[in-house]
Amino acid sequence: MGAEQRILSIDYARKLDEQDVLAHFREEFYIQPETIYLDGNSLGLLSKRAEKALLSILDSWKQYGIDGWTKGEHPWFYLSEKLGEMTASLIGAEPEETIVTGSTTVNLHQLVAAFFHPNGSATKILADELNFPTDIYALQSQLTLKGLDPNNHLVKVKSEDGRTLKEEDIIAQMSEEIALIVLPSVLYRSGQILDIKRLTAAAHKRDIVIGFDLCHSIGSIPHQLSEWDVDFAFWCNYKHLNGGPGAVGGLYVNKRHFGVKPGLAGWFGSRKDKQFDMEHTMIQATHAGAFQMGTPHLLSAAPLLGSLAMFAEAGIENIRAKSLQLTDYMMALIDAELKQEDFTIANPLNHQQRGGHVYLEHREAARICKALKANNIIPDFRAPNGIRLAPVALYNTFTEVWETVQRLKVIMNEEQYKQFENKRDEVA
Ligand SMILES: *Cc1c(COP(=O)(O)O)cnc(C)c1O
């Protein structure tokens, strides 16, 4: 058999699974029989460890009532800080620079409220036209709160191809009018990785504060936020980190900024030893914890205790290596098996710029996704014509990737997708 023939066989997929050093983690997840779940970049699956951690927090409520704040296996009063510590190595930060709190949108509001100080001619925020809508809405409303018109104070870097951004285009927009920059680390659609190090250096050269949305990179690729000197970052924990639907999010504040006042203050941002003095003058925590607001949503944070422990064990470098191997393999099979069809692989091809998923474009994408689901494959659809397929390192296999491409080939050959309407569902 030739090289191409060889990779097309299921034996090749099985061999890759045998060589996979992370393979044993799959057994720790709840995986529906016969179903191939490729949506871990939208909502990661439940693991037994995450479930156990949630039950343990419920148990301390059961046993201790109010005293669960300080008693039990994981005293609630310190849980956000503890989870921050457990997250730090995933983003290349110090434990004190990281806190589990809020949500992506809430944390973005908090951080912009703290770090956006329009001053002189620098009154604008720089973002990009491909960003996730909630980030844009949050930036618009923060501008409005400062009495600035978002129509001319939110500058959005344009994409030439509608899929990716060029760092040089972003840097070219870092003018004297810009006071703050907020960008994604990985674009949610095409999965493009932006060069955080380069963008941060360019922003700082012009005295601009820069923060990143890590929703699509945390738990999927390594980061060195402190080394790169990023000012702040924020993320959700329910995608690659498998914290569960609506899991509490996280934020990072560079230690250079410790002492900066939270834009939206609340008593959980207090120094822990002062919080219950109940004074009306807030004495804020001396670390990223200062950016917390109210009582943490403990039941939505608890699963992370189990989940983050698995990431520590697996190692983010191993996760990244397997993720690239999975997406390389998926793209090779798509190239070979679906060349007759009108799919465009629209994610960056090189490793340096490719995030954790494959992004296919097809004019029938909405109904192809429905046909995939009817075939027990869970992708996600992004309007108007995108199919995201995320083979996740901790629980997907090479055999599943192989099987996915086989079923997709049948769907296309038999035109199965024509049985469905080419229209998105309410939650796509
Ligand atoms: C998933 C995602 C969000 C979600 O924000 P929530 O506040 O958690 O609803 C925001 N931004 C990006 C880039 C995302 O990928």
pLDDT tens for each residue of 173-190? 999 999 999 999 999 999
Handedness of CA 322, 399, 16, 348 (dihedral sign): negative
Residues 315-348 have pLDDT tens digits of: 999 999 999 999 999 999 999 999 999 999 999 9
Atom of ligand 1 nearest to the CA of 249: 8
Using CB atoms within 10 A of its CB, is residue 72 exposed (0-12), middle (13-18) or buried (19+)? middle
- Segment 352-361 shows an average pLDDT of 98
Contacts of residue 347, Cβ cutoff 8 Å, sequence gap at least 6: 190, 191, 192, 327, 354, 355, 357, 358, 359
What domains sit in the chain, N to C, each tagged with a CATH number? 3-30+315-413 (3.90.1150.10), 51-313 (3.40.640.10)
CA angle 99, 100, 101 (to 5 degrees): 105
Q: How confident is the model at residue 1 (pLDDT cuts 50, 70, 90)?
A: low
Question: Which parts of 115-273 are beta strand (E)?
Answer: 124-128, 154-157, 178-184, 209-213, 232-235, 250-253
**Residue 292 Cα to ligand 1 middle (Å):** 18
Distance from residue 182's CA to the centre of ligand 1 (Å): 13
CA of 134, closest atom in ligand 1: 10
Strands (DSSP E) found in 199-315? 209-213, 232-235, 250-253
- Dist CA 338 CA 345 (whole Å): 11
Neighbours of 319 (CB within 10 A): 24
Binding-site members for pyridoxal 5'-phosphate are 104-105, 132-135, 213, 216, 238, 267, 295
**Residue 428 pLDDT greater than 80, yes or no:** no
Measured between alpha carbons, how far is 311 from 234 in angstroms, rounded to an integer? Answer: 18
Ligand 1 pocket check for 137: Cβ under 6 Å? no
Distance 213 CA to ligand 1 centre (A): 8
Looking from the CA of residue 213, the nearest atom of ligand 1 is 13
Residues making up the annotated binding site are 104-105, 132-135, 213, 216, 238, 267, 295
pLDDT at 348: 98
Cβ–ligand 1 distance for 187 under 6 Å, the answer: no
Instruction: Indicate if ligand 1 lies below 6 Å from the C-beta of 216.
Output: yes
Distance between terminal CA atoms of the chain?
41
Tokens of 218: 């945390």
